[in-house]
Amino acid sequence: MFDPTKLDKHISKVLIDPDSIQQRIADLGAEITRDYQGKELVVVCILKGAFLFTSDLCRNIELPQKLDFMAVSSYGDSTRSSGIVKIDKDLSESIQDKHVLIVEDIIDSGLTLSYIVKILMDRQPADIKICVLCNKPSNLQQFVKVDYCGFKLEDEFVVGYGLDFRGYLRNLPYIGVVKDQYR
Ligand code: IMP
Ligand code: MG
């Protein structure tokens, strides 16, 4: 039985340790800082999964930036995308003529991000780029252009550093794989 009070008990292996996460984010931040020279950014954090990633990433982007949040749900408690995306919380400011950087935890089927890009494009931003912590390309159903990617992963269900299993395990400091027996 899944027991949320026993964190590490549910992990079969640690895939990415905290230091490696921070090193990769420093590289991504430097790349984004170079690419957006002279521009002002709106960093859009997709809640809840990207909250830790965004907080570390934005501190590694040395540019004027605004931060906004959007919450979407597509999954329920299942570990596969339902394909139906619901906006639970929308952005608080207009993105018209702004340079938007969407920050998401992970791409699996691509359905969630392609939906988000579509609705944000309708608001006429100057441009939209995508930064994901993890990409699981083997399960892609809907093509999404990923501009910045932290880690490419196999098709395994991962948790930690923001990523959840049934709403739990986001607070693990590393990215790990959930034991099969709990899925
Ligand atoms: P997609 O719509 O299939 O691309 O799924 C994207 C969303 O599903 C992400 O925002 C995550 O919240 C969730 N997700 C997909 N794979 C994983 C995983 O391995 N661990 C935790 N959440 C995941
Ligand atoms: Mg999620």
Q: What is the pLDDT of residue 6?
A: 63
121-143 pLDDT tens trace = 999 999 999 999 999 999 889 99
Whether the predicted pLDDT of 83 surpasses 70: no
Answer whether the bond into residue 48 is a cis peptide, omega within 30°: yes
Name the residue with the closest Cα to ligand 1, atom 16.
108
pLDDT value, residue 78:
61
pLDDT at 56: 98
| Residue 159 and residue 174 in contact, taking contact as beta carbons nearer than 8 Å | no
**3-state class of 17 per DSSP?**
coil
Is residue 135 a contact partner of residue 153, using CB atoms and an 8 Å limit? yes
CA of residue 37 to ligand 2 center, whole Å: 32
pLDDT the model gives residue 84: 72
Burial 127-150 (b: 16+ CB within 10 A, else e): ebbbbbbbbbeeeeeeebebebbb
Query: What SS3 state is found at 21?
Result: helix
Ligand 2 mean position, distance from CA 164 (Å) = 6
Identify the pLDDT of residue 1.
Answer: 67
Q: Count CB atoms within 10 A of the CB of residue 101.
A: 25
Residue 76 has pLDDT above 80, yes or no: no
User: Which tokens hold the place of 176?
Assistant: 């790990």
Residues near ligand 1 with C-beta < 6 Å?
49, 74-75, 81, 104-112, 157-159, 163-164
Angle at 52 (CA atoms; ends 48, 53), nearest 5 degrees? 100
Which distant-in-sequence residues (6+ apart) come within 8 Å of 9 by Cβ? 3
- The model's pLDDT over 43-68, given as tens digits with 9 standing for 90+, comes to 999 999 999 999 999 999 999 999 99
Please tell me whether residue 20 adopts helix, strand or coil conformation: helix
Contact yes or no for 106/147 (Cβ under 8 A): no
Average model confidence (pLDDT) for the chain?
92
Question: Which of 74, 85, 106 for a ligand 1 pocket mutation test, highest count of atoms within 8 Å of Cβ?
Answer: 106
Kindly give the pairing relationship between strand 99-107 and strand 86-89. unpaired
pLDDT over 80 (residue 120): yes
